[in-house]
Amino acid sequence: MAAGKTNPSGKKATRNWLHQRLTALILFPLVVWFVTSIVMMAGADYDVVLVWLTHPVIAVFMVVMIGAGFYHLSLGVREVIEDYIATPSTKKTLLALNTAFAIIFGGVALVSMFRLIF
């Protein structure tokens, strides 16, 4: 067994792999929709964008995109850290920072969206 392997069963790695693929499938149409919407609203004033963002269907799409996006980001960065950082203490620190980043900034984005909605 290779040094540094913390999960010989591979169940967590398989779960992370599957979650990353599922979030990618969720994100692809949402990102295409979001970019298309933003391009179509080029030049729109603040009030138009605010009304668009607070529409219930749009708000749900945005919340799902934000949540899935930060989770997908966290999984991808976790994979890079686990694959390329050899020192256990550095790996543990970076994994904790990665999780904290995703929770804090994802949380701020979601709270901001909820403040717009409600």
Spell out the domains of the chain, with CATH numbers in brackets: 15-117 (1.20.1300.10)
| pLDDT for residue 28 | 99
Q: H or E element: which one contains 51? A: helix 46-54
Low-confidence residues of the chain, pLDDT below 70?
1-9
Kindly report the average pLDDT of the chain as a whole number. Answer: 94
Distance (Å, rounded) from C-alpha 101 to C-alpha 117? Answer: 24
Burial of 117 (0-12, 13-18, 19+ CB in 10 A): middle
| pLDDT for residue 95 | 98
| pLDDT for residue 6 | 55
pTM of the model: 0.88
| pLDDT for residue 100 | 99
| pLDDT for residue 10 | 75
